[in-house]
């Protein structure tokens, strides 16, 4: 079954167990008493950040340090990784627990995004950094290209602030609703309130990313 995923991502594992581990959510691991993909996620996240930073440095020399940071933040995020998971139908191959699967856990953006990070680590262990880099760049090249073109634009929080506070009496607040996941790989959920009324929610692996996602959704609602 995993051969279809290997064909889609363009890499055949020498050690198939690494790929299976990368696709093993903690809910399934707890049921059958095996190790989950959480440590792979942790390493994959670091590899992803390094490779994307290296790519920006090598291929976009005209970007300033702050601009490269913004592009990386936009590209190395749950939304982009979720797109990769959808592109390769990761949800069909995830090992999740019975309850998690019943509740659609294999299709949740956060779980799918985490599995992409885990697969990056699995590729690294199986074939080294060059092959992991190939997978990352092939899947994020267009996202990087688009983000680098828009890097001079204001971020969503700034745009929302300017839009809402045309009337200076309006008040915007970002409130943390919950934190999910282990300490090394948390997912934050934040809501935007305008004058005490909740407008939209956003999620991300940092509070800042969650706030940015919430601001983006709020702007879409207020159009």
HEC string for the chain? CHHHHHHHHCCCCCCHHHHHHHCECHHHHHHHCCCCCHHHHHHHHHHHHHHHHHHHHHHCCCCCHHHHHHHHHHHCCHHHHHHHHHHCCHHHCCECCHHHHHCCHHHCHHHHHHHHHHHHHHHHHHHCHHHHHHHHHHHHHHHHHHHHHCCCCCCHHHHHHHHHCCCCCCCEEEEEEEEECCHHHCEEEEEEEECCEEEEEEEECCHHHHHHHHHHHHHHHHC
pLDDT digits (tens, 9 = 90+) for 42-71: 999 999 999 999 999 999 988 888 888 888
10-37 exposure pattern, b = at least 16 Cβ within 10 A, e = fewer: ebebeeeebbbbbbbbbbbbeeeeeebb
pLDDT digits (tens, 9 = 90+) for 132-184: 999 999 999 998 988 887 675 557 888 888 888 888 889 999 999 999 988 88
Q: What is the dihedral of CA 165, 193, 187, 80, to 10 degrees?
A: -50
Residue 153: predicted pLDDT:
52
Confidence of residue 94 (pLDDT cuts 50, 70, 90): very high
Residue 146: predicted pLDDT:
83
Q: How many CA atoms lie within 13 A of 11 on its CB side?
A: 26
Residue 219 — φ and ψ, nearest 5°?
A: -60, -40
pLDDT digits (tens, 9 = 90+) for 3-40: 999 999 999 999 999 999 999 999 999 999 999 999 99
The mean predicted confidence, pLDDT, of the chain is 91
Q: Could you list the active site residues?
A: 45, 117
Q: How many CA atoms lie within 13 A of 195 on its CB side?
A: 6
pLDDT digits (tens, 9 = 90+) for 106-145: 889 999 999 999 999 999 999 999 999 999 999 999 989 8
pLDDT for 200 beyond 90: yes
Higher-confidence residue: 15 or 77? 15
The model carries a pTM of 0.69
Residue 145: predicted pLDDT:
87
Residue 166: predicted pLDDT:
81
What distance in Å separates the CA atoms of residue 219 and residue 202, rounded to the nearest whole number?
Answer: 12
Average pLDDT score over residue span 99-110? 84
* Token pair for 36: 């989950």
Residue 154: predicted pLDDT:
59
């Amino acid at each position: 079954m995993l051969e279809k995923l290997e064909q889609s991502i363009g890499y055949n594992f020498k050690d198939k167990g690494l790929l299976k581990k990368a696709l093993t959510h903690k809910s399934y691991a707890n049921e059958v008493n095996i190790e989950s993909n959480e440590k792979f996620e942790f390493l994959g996240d670091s590899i992803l950040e390094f490779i994307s930073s290296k790519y920006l440095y090598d291929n976009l020399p005209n970007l300033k340090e702050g601009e490269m940071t913004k592009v990386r933040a936009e590209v190395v995020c749950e939304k982009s990784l979720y797109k990769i998971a959808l592109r390769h139908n990761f949800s069909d191959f995830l090992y999740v627990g019975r309850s998690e699967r019943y509740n659609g856990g294999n299709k949740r953006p956060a779980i799918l995004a985490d599995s992409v990070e885990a697969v990056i680590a699995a590729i690294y262990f199986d074939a080294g950094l060059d092959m992991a880099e190939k997978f990352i760049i092939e899947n994020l090249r267009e996202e990087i290209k688009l983000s680098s073109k828009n890097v001079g634009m204001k971020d969503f929080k700034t745009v929302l602030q300017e839009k809402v506070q045309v009337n200076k009496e309006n008040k915007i607040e970002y409130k943390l609703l919950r934190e999910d996941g282990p300490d090394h790989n948390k997912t934050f959920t934040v809501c935007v309130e305008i004058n005490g009324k909740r407008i939209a929610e956003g999620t991300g692996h940092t509070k800042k990313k969650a706030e940015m996602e919430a601001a983006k959704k709020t702007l879409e609602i207020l159009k």
